[in-house]
Amino acid sequence: MKLELARKPTPLEKYIFEGKEIWIKRDDMTDFVASGNKIRKLEYLLGDAIEKKSDVVITCGAVQSNHARATNYLSKRLGMRVILYLKEWYPGKNSGNFLLNELMGAEINIVTPKEYEDIDKIMEEKAKKLLEEGRRAYIIPEGGSNYIGSKGYEDAVFEMSRQVDLDYFDAIYVATSSAGTYAGILSGVKKLNLNLEVRGVVVHKKPTEVVREKIEEILDQLGVEDHSGINLIRGFEGKDYAYPSEADLKMIKYVASESGIFLDPVYTSKAFRGTLETMGDQEKVIFIHTGGTFGLFAQIDALEGIL
């Protein structure tokens, strides 16, 4: 079952940056509190939770997780209890997404990076305890990235095909972390038989093989046997996930000053920089803006250096 939670279709707007034609899919405008790419995944995931008669949602992420914030907000709107497991990371901890989660009253459990390595097991054990108490928990993986959530980005490709002629473009660029958004986009492109490259700018230090395996797993589950065309761009992850480089922070300032669009410090600043620096001879591309604006407020100290 799919719920209708996002404000759609989101705009697809044409811009010129450094002389290059980049159309931005404004998925930063899918909602206010639930803004960003996660809401498209959650339309399917929370629909599945309701179908399974769940009354508790359990999920995980970094302390400033956009996914955790969106899941918390949407689950509460649907009347479900929310339990979050957030990986310890202290810069800006009490601001941005974390602050919103505290205000919304989620049960927040801070776990160490070492504990987070077993996060799936931790969430499953919590679900078992809740079942003993007569509660039915629905576990959503990190980033909402499984085949159920990825259907939301198949839909986004179908949505864009109704907005513009996708054959006009050379490529779609998107930030890639837990791989669900990328897998959904590639699946949608393949199901529409488009001659359109899909490039994922990886924003963390996980090995490329790990990311590729996750994409292939989701493609199989979505019924896409052809795994060709997976294109992962490295070299823009910086120190690691959630650590923007000075170049990323300067990209946030540049794009905001040129267009009034705000990139975020975790995903889109790295991905947009990767787009500009690797387009090469490509003349016109689509950039998926996956949101994350609230995360800017957790990086105020770092941003002061480029203002």
What is the per-residue pLDDT across 118-148, written as a single tens digit (0 to 9) for each? 999 999 999 999 999 999 999 999 999 999 9
Residue 170 CA to residue 261 CA, distance in Å, equals 23
State the chain's mean pLDDT as an integer: 96
Q: How would residue 94 be classed by pLDDT, with cut points 50, 70 and 90?
A: confident
Q: How would residue 92 be classed by pLDDT, with cut points 50, 70 and 90?
A: low
Q: Which of 287, 290, 286 is nearest to 265 (CA)?
A: 290
pLDDT for 91? 56
pLDDT for 83? 98
Beta pairing partners, 60: 85
Model confidence pLDDT, tens digit, residues 204-214: 999 999 999 99
| Amino acid (one-letter) located at 110 | I
Token pair belonging to 223: 């019924």
Model confidence pLDDT, tens digit, residues 9-62: 999 999 999 999 999 999 999 999 999 999 999 999 999 999 999 999 999 999
pLDDT for 66? 97
Model confidence pLDDT, tens digit, residues 226-250: 999 999 999 999 999 989 999 999 9
Residue tagged active-site, from 35, 54, 65, 178: 65
Q: How would residue 90 be classed by pLDDT, with cut points 50, 70 and 90?
A: low
pLDDT for 302? 85
Q: Is the pLDDT of residue 265 over 90?
A: yes
The Cβ of residue 178 has, within 10 Å, a number of other Cβ atoms equal to 21
Q: How would residue 306 be classed by pLDDT, with cut points 50, 70 and 90?
A: confident
pLDDT for 93? 66
pTM of the shown model: 0.96
pLDDT for 58? 98
65 part of the active site: yes
pLDDT for 220? 98
What is the separation, in whole angstroms, between the first and last Cα of the chain?
A: 46
Token pair belonging to 184: 């959904």
The answer to whether the bond into 265 is cis (omega within 30° of 0) is no
pLDDT mean over 71-84: 98
Domains and CATH numbers, the chain: 12-35+145-306 (3.40.50.1100), 39-144 (3.40.50.1100)
Exposed/middle/buried for 172, CB within 10 Å: 0-12, 13-18, 19+? buried
